[in-house]
Amino acid sequence: MKQEEKELLGFIDFFRTLPDHRIERRKLHSVEEILLVTFCGVVAGCDGWEDIELFGKTKIEFFKKHLPFDNGIPSDDTLRRFFRVLDPKVFESYFIDWLKSYRINLENKVVAIDGKTSRGSFDGDNKPLHLLSAFASEIGLTLGQQRVADKSNEITAIPKLLELLDIDGAIVTIDAMGCQHEIAKKILEKNADYLLALKGNQGQLHEDVKLFFSNKPGTSKFFSHKEIDGGHGRVETRISTVTGDIDWLKTMHPQWQKLRSIVEVESVRELKDKVETEKRYYISSLAADPKGILEAVRQHWGIENSLHWILDVCFGDDQSRIRKGNAPGNIAIIRRCALNLLQKIKQERPRSSIKRLRKLAGWDVEFLDTVLSTKF
């Protein structure tokens, strides 16, 4: 391959050493050719294998500029068979190594960990695909994903995902499902800080923290930060209250390593004559900084809008009909690769939506080249 082709192919070239599981005599297309046409098809808005084949055929001259495609564009059956058998764990490891190669600085940045079910991937007796994602909220980047049987298995999957990631200096946020002292320990081992939501699954810990904020003993120092925003007739007020005077709590719950602060976040939503108030509680290895912790909490909530919502609305994740074998997990990786690169481009084109950028990639092969060669 020519040097300029290597540069242009960007991350596709990074995946070129992916092990090929196919029988040699049946190989009409290289791994790079299959990955290139599939990735470009997903970027350009294709919803299934037939769409990807058709897109490839309409852009055959574009694809031949980069790779031989001596046997034409892979058929939808070829694509289907390839991704059904491809080991998603191996594919995922390449995805994570690709991101690690850019040495992205996560110092003091929030890495939100949360799960999402691809509801359209349900197939007969097989449960729908449930993926746990690690998302760098501030830069809109998916750092990795881990397939789990269902939400209840996230507890065991989170340490496995953390082990794969380079999160040095980051602030890892997880909802109450992941509020486990072994998970906190793993985060600390990765040289990161934790901010974990509390609920009844931690039993007495949740009640102890809640009661402490309710009474606010005069011998302890509390720090607060308030933010107000709104629009379309809605006003939302958020108040974070934190304290680092928690020696009593560390004595009662010594299993929580490097616990430095506890947090109460009160949200008040006003819409016309309706007022809703909610209080959430957190434990953290961070110092008692109410403004910084409230920002971290907000960035964790952003994973729903910045990742899960975009995957559903812009990529049709829940409506996808790709269901068989390993294909749902593998196509999920490709969607996240595509979204990562489009999010990077969007930072330079803030007025362009992800949906519009996908359309542009389908219309303009020069822009598609831009996506392929984007780096972080």
Residue 14 has pLDDT above 90, yes or no: no
Name the nearest CA neighbour of 146 among 189, 197, 110, 95.
95
Give the Cα separation of 316 and 120 in Å (integer). 9
Q: Is pLDDT above 90 for 125?
A: no
- Does the pLDDT of residue 4 top 80, yes or no? no
Strand order through the sheet with 129-136: 141-148, 129-136, 110-118, 171-174, 193-198, 274-284, 261-271, 234-243, 223-231
Percent of the chain whose pLDDT exceeds 90: 68
Q: How crowded is residue 149: how many other Cβ atoms within 10 Å of its Cβ?
A: 11
User: Looking at residue 123, what is its pLDDT?
Assistant: 58
Question: What's the CA angle centered on 145, arms 143 and 150, to 5 degrees?
Answer: 150
Give the pLDDT confidence score for residue 316 in this predicted structure: 85
Beta strands 110-118; 171-174: pairing state? parallel
Over residues 137-186, the pLDDT tens digits come to 999 999 998 888 766 688 999 999 999 999 999 999 999 989 999 999 99
Tokens of 32: 């790079």
CB 159 within 8 A of CB 181: no
pLDDT of 3 above 70: no
DSSP string, 330-353: HHHHHHHHHHHHHHHHHHH-TTS-
pLDDT, tens only, 58-110: 999 999 999 999 999 999 999 999 999 999 889 999 999 898 888 899 999 99
DSSP letter string, 185-245: HHHHHTT-EEEEEE-GGGTHHHHHHHHHHHH--TTS--EEEEEEEEETTEEEEEEEEEE--
How confident is the model over 246-284, as pLDDT tens digits? 999 999 999 999 999 999 999 999 988 899 999 999 999
Among 317, 321, 315, smallest CA distance to 355 is for 315
Position 121 scores a pLDDT of 56
Round to whole Å and give the CA distance between 366 and 353: 18
Query: Could you report the per-residue pLDDT of 292-301, keeping only the tens digit for each?
Result: 999 999 999 8
Residue 181 has φ and ψ, to the nearest 5°, of -65, -30
Tens digit of each residue's pLDDT (9 = 90 or more) over 326-336: 999 999 999 99
Model confidence at 318, in pLDDT bands (50, 70, 90)? Answer: confident
Which range (3-7, 173-177, 178-182, 202-206) has the least confidence? 3-7
Strand partners, 132: 115, 146
Mean pLDDT of the chain: 90
Only one residue has tokens 């102890």, namely: 208
- Could you give the CA distance from residue 167 to residue 143 in angstroms, rounded to a whole number? 9
- pLDDT bracket for residue 7 (50, 70, 90): very low
More confident residue, 144 or 321: 144
